[in-house]
Amino acid sequence: MWNILIVEDQSIVRQGLKLMLEQDGNIRVVAEASNGREAIKCVEEQMIDLVLMDIRMPVMNGIEATRIIKERFPQVKILILTTFNDDEYAIQALKYGANAFLLKTSDSQTLIEAVYSCFRGGLPIHEEVAAKMMPRLLHKAEKKLDIPLSSRELAITKLVGEGKTNKEIAAELYLSIGTVKNHITQILQKLELRDRTQLAIFAVKNDIS
């Protein structure tokens, strides 16, 4: 069972999100916070597996809280859930290590599936947000990559950037899941990256395709 922290400044929204999430037997909401500073304290004091994080809140916003939590507790998953369809927010959140970015218009099934995806190593992004991000990323000036990756490692990096899980990558490249995990470990070491989220951001920023 996963322990979830809901961070949202409106109590009625927190209650609604709790009801939505706890429809699933593997999810338990163990704490609530109304701003980023309270969220950090909750993560410090309790065993939290995933933080459901709003962005615009008093005292400390969700982007800054994401940065601090990921720096201090990198194992904690962070799913951004906001009303703001803003690609800049999404890019900032992902830069700081967020594992997902959804809009509050998402239904309960989409939200629960995103939670599962985070724990499977996916990077779910709401389609409306992704649609706004892509033109910016695609129109960046091309960069010549000088990175020490083999063709196989580049292929895996590309699929990680697309949000694919290890199982999906293994199926697409006809590899075992264990082999994919080993490759990703080696890629992270070569690129001096901390985790899978940073690798996904690296792939997108460098237009690995």
Per domain, the residue ranges of the chain are 2-136, 151-205
Q: How far apart are CA 195 and CA 134, in angstroms?
A: 22
Answer yes or no: are the C-beta atoms of 193 and 147 closer than 8 Å: no
Q: What is the pLDDT along the chain (209 residues), one digit of tens a residue?
A: 999 999 999 999 999 999 999 999 999 999 999 999 999 999 999 999 999 999 999 999 999 999 999 999 999 999 999 887 766 788 888 888 999 999 999 999 999 999 999 999 888 888 777 776 666 655 544 444 567 888 899 899 989 988 899 999 999 898 999 999 999 999 999 998 999 999 998 888 787 76
Selected from 2.60.40.420, 3.40.50.2300, 3.40.50.1400, 3.40.50.720, the CATH number assigned to the domain covering 2-136 reads 3.40.50.2300
- Whether the model clears a pTM of 0.75, i.e. scores above it, the answer is no
Residue range 151-205 forms a domain whose CATH class is mainly alpha
